[in-house]
Amino acid sequence: MNNRTKKFFSFYKPYMGLFLLDMFCAFIVAGITLVNPLIIRYITNTVLPDYNSNDAVTIIARLGLIMLGLAVIQFVCNYFVTYKGHMMGAYMEYDMRNELFEHYQKLSFNFYDNQKTGQLMSRITNDLFDITELCHHGPEDVVISFIKITGAFVILLNVNPWLTLVVFAFIPIMVLFAMFIRKKMHAAFKRNRERVAEINAQVEDNLSGIRVVKSFANEELEIEHFKMGNDRFVNSKRSSYLNMANFHAGLGFFISLLNIAVIIGGAAFISKDTINMADLITFLLYINNLIEPVQKLINFTEQFQNGITGFNRFMDILEIEPDIIDSKGAIELVNPKGDIEFSDVAFKYQDTINEVFRNINLKVKAGEYMALVGSSGVGKTTMCSLIPRFYETTSGEIKIDGINIRDIQLKSLRKNIGVVQQDVYLFAGTVIDNIRYGKLEATREQVIEAAKNANAHDFIMELPDGYDTYIGQRGIKLSGGQKQRLSIARVFLKDPSILIFDEATSALDNESEKIVQESLEKLAKNRTTFVIAHRLTTIRNAKHIIVLTEDGIKEQGTHEELLKKGGIYSKLYTMTK
């Protein structure tokens, strides 16, 4: 058994009792369906011809009671299989979903840089559903079908071997036919799903950009594009319904052929006294009993394929080892002063050819306010993301208070670094929830204090429900400057010794920018601060400006010193002025 198979079965472990009970109930359900035709056969074959009418009525009444008892048992078992069996699948799906989500939380930026969010989401929803459908329905369908088919075969063989051969000669042909059409149908339904995804993407793109569409008056073009996608969808639906019609009509036709063959064959045997009327009825009853398990087995082949594909996709992710983890013996970073040192640091993104930069040597003293400048794309954001180990340096080392960051427990490292990102991300929720994200145990008063420090309190109080206002997905109901201030408030609450502020590239208006700048300066007090300056006008007052190039730090000093030097900084400054 390979590792993946072992892992697959490990999900059954906590529910073994439930699983066995489910299988037992499936076994009983299948067994009972085999018994009823036998009772009918006994009545027509033995009770009616051999007993006087009074005795026959008594026996039939007793048999009726037995059948009623069996129906009740079947009802209970069916109820259990449908309810508890599905719940077992749901619990297994729950475990897999938790495991996958926990794993998502451990994977690093490198992983997410190369993934599409939509696909990662589909693994946690559609794929897992396919797997658990297989986990639950698979064994149950196989057990039920196996018992029903072999049971019917053995019983019919005892009634009449020749007629049994006629019936069972049909089954393989029917299965082959059904599998062939089913495959085509599956491909057609898969195409349908792709077409729906295309339409969804098209609608999403159009509606998100509806203002651009209208400003260019391009509605006609959009309608035309949409129609093309919609046409493709309806065409693919046509093909899937065509296959579906073939499938159902074809199966129905096979069943009719089977019935005809049994009636004609049976009648011929009756005429030769090989079988009697009761035998023929038994055959006809079992034929109807056979169709359902055959269909179930056909479904199972598809379910198996989908489930295994889903499980492999699930395992593909689960087997990716998180690449940034605590080293052995890593220590906890407690209240660091905030001295930072880069020694010969070079960095290259995974799957890229060239290094973003190399030869970075830099010492920043605790509490220093440092502005990082350089041409666009030179690696300012990248350099700062090495400090909290969002990415690992390719070579060289970074130290905080003299300790290599690779020897520090990741959680404690990140707890001591506050990052205000360029693209502020707020979660769907209230203002207070979003600020409290910086310190989960903070009281309402502490949150308000942080908001005041971030110059956010006044605008929050003007929102309809103040701190309890729902700010929409990604804070859609707030302005750019307001979002920045909330994210600064969040870091105030976190109270880290080291601060990284990635200045927003999309310019805030002058007033907003001033307020953000003010709150940032308050936040930076007594913390080691890196400001990534995308616009040089905002950092003229910084005491320490460093100029990053791909070959290391080429200039350092104050604004005036660097201008006087007439080097890269002064060129950049004149360009952006």
Summarize as ranges the residues that interact with ligand ATP (CB under 6 A). Answer: 113, 349, 352, 356, 374, 376-382, 534
Smallest separation, CB 342 to ligand ATP (Å): 15
Beta bridge partners of 556: 546
Smallest separation, CB 355 to ligand ATP (Å): 10
Smallest separation, CB 382 to ligand ATP (Å): 3
CB nearer ligand ATP, residue 95 or residue 550 = 550
Smallest separation, CB 21 to ligand ATP (Å): 50
CB nearer ligand ATP, residue 91 or residue 349 = 349
End-to-end, the C-alpha distance of the chain in Å comes to: 68
Burial degree of 392 (CB within 10 A; 0-12, 13-18, 19+): middle
Smallest separation, CB 516 to ligand ATP (Å): 17
CB nearer ligand ATP, residue 367 or residue 567 = 567
User: Which residue do the tokens 């993104």 mark?
Assistant: 349
Cβ(357)–Cβ(549) below 8 Å: yes
Smallest separation, CB 374 to ligand ATP (Å): 6
Per-residue exposure over 54-86, b if at least 16 CB sit within 10 Å of its own CB, e if not: eebeebbeeeeeeeeebeeebeebbebbeebbe
CB nearer ligand ATP, residue 323 or residue 495 = 323
CB nearer ligand ATP, residue 384 or residue 456 = 384
Per-residue exposure over 330-340, b if at least 16 CB sit within 10 Å of its own CB, e if not: beebeebebbb
CB nearer ligand ATP, residue 430 or residue 549 = 549
CB nearer ligand ATP, residue 185 or residue 553 = 553
CB 123: neighbour CB atoms within 10 A? Answer: 20
CB nearer ligand ATP, residue 434 or residue 529 = 529
Smallest separation, CB 111 to ligand ATP (Å): 11
Tell me the DSSP string of 270-326: HHTTSS-HHHHHHHHHHHHHHHHHHHHHHHHHHHHHHHHHHHHHHHHHHTSPPSS-P
Smallest separation, CB 209 to ligand ATP (Å): 23
Please give the C-alpha separations between residue 494 and each of 424, 432, 485, 490, in angstroms, as whole numbers.
16, 14, 14, 6
Roughly what angle, to the nearest 10 degrees, separates helices 53-106 and 128-159? 150
Sheet holding 544-549, edge to edge: 417-420, 498-502, 528-532, 369-373, 544-549, 552-557
